[in-house]
């Protein structure tokens, strides 16, 4: 199958996929789009939102519709790395046997990742980066495709261990989950308080998802689009000579090179889903907020004046 045909096929299947997801998840189209972009590009996502907005249900539904395995890990202050990675135990023949932890699945929901100590966070983030875990000197490959959706609760900050910036950078997208509209919430209440349970069809196989990830990487990108993405990321860095006065005034730290890579990858996938065979600057702009939001560290002056990361990014676009 040629790449042109493959992109057209992806567009069609993605529409059907979103219809399947919409059987269970009402609204949140933008969130679902960004999660799917992450999956199609082999990235990971951080979901920031208050409890009760169907994060677990959303990920479970997406996993079912994609035909992928799904595991949920509830992060707590006493969670140990072995609780998520697995551990070696003595079997009846007195031989060590590795028991896989919940991290061995295609899609992992790391719920409230900022509630667990840095040691356990690091174990997950290493697995995200390497797509493998090392236990007692032996390396175990994780299932492919592999996607981590971590959630953070922005309300309760007591007893939390915020992710360091270097670890936040491992996430392709930081997605803000907002409350549904009144009309959407009415529909949610009607559907969740009835006895009907929609069935979700599996539309993909794990191999098809991997093929899509390779397809996205093969999409050509014009030099001017790459240059725009790199300059956009560069413009977030206050210590650069090209930085604007606005950035110097309100930003402590800007995005690193991984942001440029992610912008291009996400722009490629976004272009493909819009049946374009090469991304343009608009594709970069459309994915920029989710990719840059968690990579820009604003200063106290920005906090005092109520300037958000989104405001800073929009100013730079």
| 281 pLDDT tier (thresholds 50, 70, 90) | very high
Query: Which letter does DSSP use for residue 254 in this model?
Result: -
pLDDT number for residue 158: 63
DSSP readout, 189-224?
HHHHTSS--PPPPP---HHHHHHHHHHHHHS---HH
pTM recorded for the entire structure: 0.88
Instruction: Report the residue count for the chain.
Output: 317
Confidence check: pLDDT of 133 > 70: yes
| 53 pLDDT tier (thresholds 50, 70, 90) | confident
Confidence check: pLDDT of 155 > 60: no
Question: How much is the average pLDDT of 122-141?
Answer: 82
Query: Rounded to an integer, what is the distance from CA 89 to the centroid of its chain?
Result: 33
Question: How much is the average pLDDT of 21-27?
Answer: 86
pLDDT number for residue 315: 85
pLDDT number for residue 210: 92
Per-residue pLDDT reduced to its tens digit, 214-264: 999 999 999 999 999 999 999 998 888 878 888 888 888 888 899 999 999
- Point out which residues pair with 141 in neighbouring strands: 132
Closest to 280 in 3D by CA, of 219, 198, 195, 217: 219
Confidence check: pLDDT of 70 > 60: yes
Domains and CATH numbers, the chain: 3-194+203-207 (3.40.50.300), 221-316 (1.10.8.80)
Q: What are residue 121's phi and psi, to 5 degrees? A: -55, -45
């Amino acid at each position: 199958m040629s790449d042109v045909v493959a992109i057209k096929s992806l567009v069609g299947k993605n529409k059907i996929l979103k219809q399947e997801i919409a059987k269970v998840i009402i609204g949140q189209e933008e969130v679902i789009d960004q999660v799917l972009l992450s999956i199609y590009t082999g990235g990971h996502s951080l979901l920031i939102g208050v409890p009760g907005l169907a994060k677990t249900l959303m990920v479970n539904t997406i996993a079912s519709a994609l035909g992928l395995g799904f595991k949920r890990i509830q992060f707590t202050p006493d969670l140990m790395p072995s609780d998520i990675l697995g551990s070696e135990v003595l079997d009846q023949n007195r031989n060590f046997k590795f028991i896989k932890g919940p991290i061995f699945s295609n899609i992992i929901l790391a719920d409230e990742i900022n509630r667990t100590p840095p040691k356990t966070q690091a174990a997950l983030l290493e697995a995200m980066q390497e797509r493998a875990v090392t236990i007692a000197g032996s390396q175990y490959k994780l299932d492919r495709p592999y996607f981590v959706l971590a959630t953070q609760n922005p309300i309760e900050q007591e007893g939390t261990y915020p992710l360091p910036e270097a670890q936040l950078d491992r996430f392709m997208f930081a997605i803000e989950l907002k409350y549904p509209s009144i009309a959407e919430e009415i529909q949610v209440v009607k559907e969740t308080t009835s006895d009907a349970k929609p069935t979700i069809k599996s539309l993909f196989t794990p191999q098809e998802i991997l093929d899509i990830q390779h397809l996205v990487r093969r999409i050509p990108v014009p030099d001017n689009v790459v240059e725009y993405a790199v300059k956009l990321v560069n413009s977030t860095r206050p210590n650069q000579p090209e930085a604007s006065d606005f950035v110097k005034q309100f930003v402590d730290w800007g995005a690193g090179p991984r942001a440029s890579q992610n912008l291009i990858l996400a722009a490629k996938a976004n272009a493909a889903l819009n049946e374009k065979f090469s991304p343009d600057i608009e594709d970069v702009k459309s994915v920029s907020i989710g990719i840059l939001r968690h990579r820009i560290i604003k200063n106290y002056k920005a906090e005092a004046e109520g300037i958000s990361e989104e405001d800073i990014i929009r100013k730079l676009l």
